[in-house]
Amino acid sequence: MEIKRFFIPSEKIDKQCAVIDNDEFYHIVKVLRLKKGFKIVVCTGDGKDYYATIDKIHDGYLTAAIHETIVNDTELPFKLTMLQAIPSKDKLEIIVQKAVETGVSVFVPFISTHVNDSRVNIERLEKIIKEAAKQCGANKLMRIIPPVDFEEAVNIAKKSFLPIIAYEKETDGRLCKLSERFKTKDFSAAFFVGPEGGFTDEEASCAKDNGIAAITLGKRILRCETAGVVVSALIASEYNRNNPAKGSV
C-alpha cells in the first residue's frame, strides 16, 4: 500500500511525535479511514520527510510516532515565481497543478487586457496545491497570492534575479542567451505566461522597459496551460546546465 503524505505546521512536530488535526486529520480518519498502526509521511516544509506510524486517534486530532527522518531533495534549489494571466477556471486549476509538479515556489495570478474573468477561488486552488504536492512528493507547498494587476505583477517579477516573459511575437530571444545570469550565488527566477488572447504590444513593451527579458518558445503558439510547464522546465534545465555541481530536479 502506498504511504500517504500529509502537511502540518512546524509547531505540530518534534523529534519523536507529530500531531495532526484540522483538514489533514479529517482526510486521514474520515476519507482514507487509516487506523492505528498505519504508516504515513509527515511534511512541514523544512526539507525533510518524517516517516511515522499512527499511534493514537483522539477526538479531532491524532498523534503519530516518528521513526525515520529523510532529507527530501525534490525541491528546486532556487525560488521560482510563475506569473499567470488568469484564464478560465478549468484551465487555471490545471495550470496550478502543473506548476506544483514542475517546482514553482510562488504562483501569482494577474489581470491583463485580454483576461475575461478575473475571479479566482484561492481556497479551491490551495486544495489543488496540497493534493498535487502530495502526488509528486513535494516537501513544500507552493504559495499562491490573490490576483494583482499587470503593473503589480511586473513589480513582483522585477524582484527576481532573472525575470522573463514568454511572448508569442518574440523571435530572437532565447533562454540560453541569458546563461550568465544563472551563475549568480543567490539565483531566483520569475516568468510571465500570458492570457488566452496573448499580451498586448503595450504590455510586452512595459515588461521589457522594466528589465524583463522576452523569450520565444518556438514557432508554434502554445496554450497557456502548456506554456508554464515548458518555461519552468527550461529554467530548471538551464540552471542545471550552468550549475552542474549544485544539482537540481
Task: Give me the sign of the Cα torsion angle 147, 152, 154, 156.
Answer: negative
Shared domain for 230 and 113, answered yes or no, is: yes
d(CA 27, CA 10): 19
Number of domains in the chain: 2
Distance CA 135, CA 35 (A): 21
44, part of any domain: yes
Is 115 found in the same domain as 212? yes
Q: In which band, very low, low, confident or very high, does the pLDDT at 105 lie, cut at 50, 70 and 90? A: very high
Burial of 50 (0-12, 13-18, 19+ CB in 10 A): buried
Is 207 within the bounds of a domain?
Answer: yes
180 and 89 share a domain? Answer: yes
Instruction: Specify the pLDDT at position 162.
Output: 96
% of the chain surpassing 70 pLDDT:
98
- Pick from 120, 98, 79, 104: which is nearest to 224 by CA? 98
Least confident of 90-94, 182-186, 201-205: 182-186
| pLDDT over 80 (residue 121) | yes
Give the domain range for residue 13.
4-71
Alpha carbon distance 44, 13 (integer Å):
8
pLDDT at 41 over 80: yes
Closest-CA residue to 18 (of 59, 50, 49): 50
Rounded to an integer, what distance in angstroms lies between the CA atom of residue 80 and that of residue 102?
Answer: 10
Domain boundary among 43, 71, 99: 71
pLDDT at 185: 84
What pTM was estimated for this model as a whole? Answer: 0.92
Residue at 247 is within a domain: no
Which is more confidently placed, 242 or 41?
41
CA–CA separation, 147 and 127 (whole Å): 17
**pLDDT at residue 238, rounded to an integer:** 93
- How many Å apart are CA 113 and CA 168, to the nearest integer? 15
Looking only at the bridges linking them, the beta strands covering 79-85 and 61-71 are unpaired
The answer to whether residues 138 and 223 belong to one domain is yes
Q: What is the pLDDT of residue 184?
A: 85
Residue 38 lies inside a defined structural domain of this protein: yes
The CATH number of the domain holding residue 143 is: 3.40.1280.10
Same domain, 55 and 84: no
pLDDT-derived band at 246, boundaries 50, 70, 90: low
Model confidence at 213: pLDDT above 90: yes
The model's confidence at residue 172, banded by pLDDT at 50, 70 and 90, is confident
